[in-house]
Amino acid sequence: MEELPAGVELPAGRDQLAALFTQLAPEQAGAIATMMTRNNADSNRWAVDLLAVEPEDRVLEIGAGPGMGIELLAARTTAGHVAGIDVSAAMVEHARARDADLVRTGRAEILVAPAERIPFPDGAFTKALAVHVAQFWPTPEPALREIRRVLAEGGNVVLATRAYRETAGPPNAASFGWTRAQVDAISAAMRAVGFREVNTRTAENSAEGLIAVLGTR
């Protein structure tokens, strides 16, 4: 399902991949941004639909990558605002370039920051989204606590990624997808930090299975 650009090899472990994101060189980030844009379009649209964004929402995207989600969110928050964060400075550059008009007009801002230390005040957002990101959090509680902190009362979060699929050959996006046990673990962690109405959604097509965990502050 996943074509990797020339010169990019995914490491075998989630932790190594998480570390790699923080150190992406500009040319690696460019190749990976192109790959994400191609492979993650459907899953980003699905996740944004699940978030049920309203025009006046203030939405935070965590792990915004090349900025595709920001663009989809901004199209819906016509009277609101979108903020994106990502640990990779090189990836943030790509997102800012892709979403230059949105950034220039103040409809969106994109910052280098980790999910574990979100640079916004308590209750700043009505909705939060992370697509293909939460599976790289070895201990998800610090990020989940931060997401809950920056959500207003009644605000919703969608964490979405691929379902795990065993595939032959080198690691690819599906090999980093969530197993049922990991979905149960992140759901439990969300409840433990205080999210309520935690529930999951799935979608399947011939290329991939998708899983999302939803919660409300």
Ligand X SMILES: C[S@@+](CC[C@H](N)C(=O)[O-])C[C@H]1O[C@@H](n2cnc3c(N)ncnc32)[C@H](O)[C@@H]1O
- Residues at the interface with ligand X (CB under 6 A): 18, 21, 36, 40, 44, 62-65, 68-69, 85-88, 91, 114-116, 131-133, 136, 143
Q: Identify the helix (H) or strand (E) that includes residue 79.
A: none
Task: Find the shortest distance in angstroms from Cβ 201 to ligand X.
Answer: 16
Provide the residue type at 189 as one letter. A
- Give the nearest residue (CB) to ligand X: 65
Q: Identify the helix (H) or strand (E) that includes residue 200.
A: strand 196-204
Residue 100: C-alpha distances to residues 67, 71, 123, 128 (Å): 10, 10, 26, 21
36 vs 157, beta carbon nearer ligand X: 36
18 vs 31, beta carbon nearer ligand X: 18
Task: Find the shortest distance in angstroms from Cβ 26 to ligand X.
Answer: 13
138 vs 154, beta carbon nearer ligand X: 138
- b/e string for 80-116 if b means 16 or more Cβ within 10 A? bbbbbbbbbebbbbbbbebbeebbeeebbbbbebbbb
Task: Find the shortest distance in angstroms from Cβ 20 to ligand X.
Answer: 9
Task: Find the shortest distance in angstroms from Cβ 132 to ligand X.
Answer: 4
